Amino acid sequence: MGPVGISSHGKVRNVLVSIEEFTRLKMVAAEPVPFEFQEPRSETVRLIDDPLGYDVSDIDDAIDRMSSDALAGKGEEAVERELAAVRRRFGRDRD
């Protein structure tokens, strides 16, 4: 639908345009588009494999399991992979 003019006594007083056209005109003019008129953007969140994942709904139990697993050496390879990823992300090599 194109613009609609509202007139009074033969003079155009207001021009109505669709939100899409208003947004397009704002973008062409390099002006900010009001937040209310911006289309919501979908976000895709992918789950990553987390071999060290602990259910922390009972934090005391989770802490007990984490510490006993650490002392027993469980998940050592997964810990090293996570540490390597953190070091890469923050630009730190192991000394």
- Hey, CA dihedral for 77, 78, 79, 84, is it positive or negative? positive
When divided into structural domains, the chain yields a total of 2
* Domain contains 79: yes
Residue entry with tokens 């613009």: 3
DSSP string computed for 45-56: ------TT----
pLDDT of amino acid 38:
81
Domain annotation covers residue 69: yes
pLDDT at residue 29, rounded to an integer: 94
Q: How many CB atoms lie within 10 A of CB 40?
A: 5
Domain that holds residue 25: 4-37
> 17-65, pLDDT tens digit by residue?
888 888 888 899 999 988 888 877 787 777 777 778 888 888 999 899 9
User: Would residue 70 count as lying in a domain?
Assistant: yes
Say if 75 falls within a structural domain.
yes
As a whole number of angstroms, the distance between CA 17 and CA 23 comes to 10
